[in-house]
Amino acid sequence: MQSPHTECLLKLVHEEHSIQDYQSNIPPRWCTGCGDNGILTAIQRLCRDEQLEPENTVFVSGIGCSSRLPHYMNAYGFHGLHGRALPVAEGVKMRRPDLHVFVTTGDGDCCSIGAAHWIHAVRYNMNMTMLLHDNQIYGLTKMQASPTSPKGQKSNTTPRGAYLNPLNPLTVTLGVSNVSFVAQVADWMPDVLYDIVSQAYRHKGFSFVRVLQRCPEFLPHRFDEWVRDPARMRVIVHPEGVQLSASLSKTYRNQEIHDPANLDRAREIASLTDEIPVGILYRNSDVPCYEDLREGERPNTPGLIRTVLDEEFDKFTIWPEEPGVAAAE
């Protein structure tokens, strides 16, 4: 039988986390109407619904407006170096596979300076969720073209318009060995955004989610055509993927049934240009995670960690002299 004291402790342990438990005391400093706000809301909702313990959840980012997200979460966070979020997240996961790891990055951060890390993170397939906030411009540094900026886009670095066709983050990711989860969504579809973020979190492996994100400050009309005309969004539906509610189905009538196991069709869908595909393009839960392949080599049991730390601390400890020893010498 439990003592009243034990019962009281158990109650504390099982206390439900509310959405406020995941909000930090720093108010978001993104511009009004910035799509990053909607992405943050979806993540906080996910943490609440999955009851993720803040002390076991880590948000890692690089540099950019989007990379400010860890500051707004009440969890562990690492707002690090431009383009380098993924190697940091991989280090965390390798050492502590029990933690829930999320990476937030921008199109400059991921597809430009961080592109090499992105490709290898897909190949390593570590169990984490990556959100690419793709606003197709450098926001924080005030409007330089990014690799995903549309051809012809005028910016501070391309005053006559971008010369090159944009890089497609979906087809790139789908082309990497060991790819295991690829999805796309838009910040102006909050229910689908939440659904995809949840499915990405629940996938065992590296989940790559590209979120088309509005930047009203520097590209205010970039996605207007698609926001105003839902028929130009193609929603990829499947019992193993996104399933729209009856009311959303009326809004988003342009739907395609696509089995996320079909990689060839995923690549075709990812290449659409006039319509924006939204949904889970590809999922393969059989790809092994790198941290599992290295499982046996990880000396991370609490006992071993304590032994290693004790040995390190011992090197710097000045032990008090035993009474009488100094006098005898």
Ligand X SMILES: Cc1ncc(C[n+]2csc(CCOP(=O)(O)OP(=O)(O)O)c2C)c(N)n1
Residues 6+ apart with CB under 8 A from 284: 179, 180, 181, 205, 261, 263
Residue selected from 82, 203, 210, 214 as contacting ligand X according to rule CB under 6 A? 82
Other CB atoms within 10 Å distance of the CB of residue 324: 8
Q: Scan residues 215-254 and list those touching ligand X (CB under 6 A).
A: none
Residue with smaller CB distance to ligand X, 108 or 277: 108
Stretch that binds ligand X, among 41-49, 61-69, 176-184, 245-253 (CB under 6 A): 61-69
Residues 6+ apart with CB under 8 A from 10: 2
Beta strand segments in 150-291, E: 181-186, 206-212, 233-237, 255-257, 276-283
Residue with smaller CB distance to ligand X, 18 or 32: 32
Indicate which of ligand SF4, ligand X, none lies near residue 82 (CB less than 5 to 8 Å, by partner kind).
ligand X
Stretch that binds ligand X, among 11-19, 37-45, 107-115, 178-186 (CB under 6 A): 107-115
Indicate which of ligand X, ligand SF4, none lies near residue 146 (CB less than 5 to 8 Å, by partner kind).
ligand X
Q: Minimum distance from CB of 212 to ligand SF4 (Å)?
A: 12
Structure tokens that stand for 208 in this block: 């790559």
In Å, how far from its chain's centre is CA 20? 20
Q: Minimum distance from CB of 36 to ligand SF4 (Å)?
A: 5
Q: Minimum distance from CB of 184 to ligand SF4 (Å)?
A: 18
105 torsion bin: left (phi>0), alpha (psi -120 to 50), beta (else): beta
Residue with smaller CB distance to ligand SF4, 117 or 214: 214
Stretch that binds ligand X, among 90-98, 138-146, 163-171, 245-253 (CB under 6 A): 138-146
3-class SS of residue 324: coil
169 scored as a contact of ligand X (CB under 6 A): no
Structure tokens that stand for 210 in this block: 């590209």
Residue with smaller CB distance to ligand X, 63 or 92: 63
Residue selected from 35, 70, 77, 139 as contacting ligand X according to rule CB under 6 A? 139
For residue 275, count CB atoms less than 10 angstroms from its CB and return exposed for 0-12, middle for 13-18, buried for 19 or more.
middle
Distance CA 88, CA 79 (A): 10
Q: Minimum distance from CB of 209 to ligand SF4 (Å)?
A: 17
Residue with smaller CB distance to ligand X, 44 or 61: 61
**Nearest Cα to Cα of residue 121 among 75, 201, 193, 176:** 176
3-class SS of residue 79: strand
63 scored as a contact of ligand X (CB under 6 A): yes
Residue with smaller CB distance to ligand X, 89 or 235: 89
Q: Minimum distance from CB of 275 to ligand SF4 (Å)?
A: 24
What Å distances lie between residue 64 and 34, 110, 295, CA to CA? 13, 10, 34
Residue selected from 59, 72, 138, 223 as contacting ligand X according to rule CB under 6 A? 138
Q: Minimum distance from CB of 178 to ligand X (Å)?
A: 25
For residue 48, count CB atoms less than 10 angstroms from its CB and return exposed for 0-12, middle for 13-18, buried for 19 or more.
middle
Residue selected from 61, 85, 109, 209 as contacting ligand X according to rule CB under 6 A? 109
Q: Minimum distance from CB of 134 to ligand SF4 (Å)?
A: 11
- Position 104: which residue type? T
Q: Which residues bind ligand SF4 (CB under 6 A)?
A: 30-31, 34, 36, 65, 135, 139, 215-218
End-to-end C-alpha distance for the chain, whole angstroms: 58
Write out the residues near ligand X by the rule CB under 6 A.
63-66, 82, 106-109, 133, 135, 137-141, 146
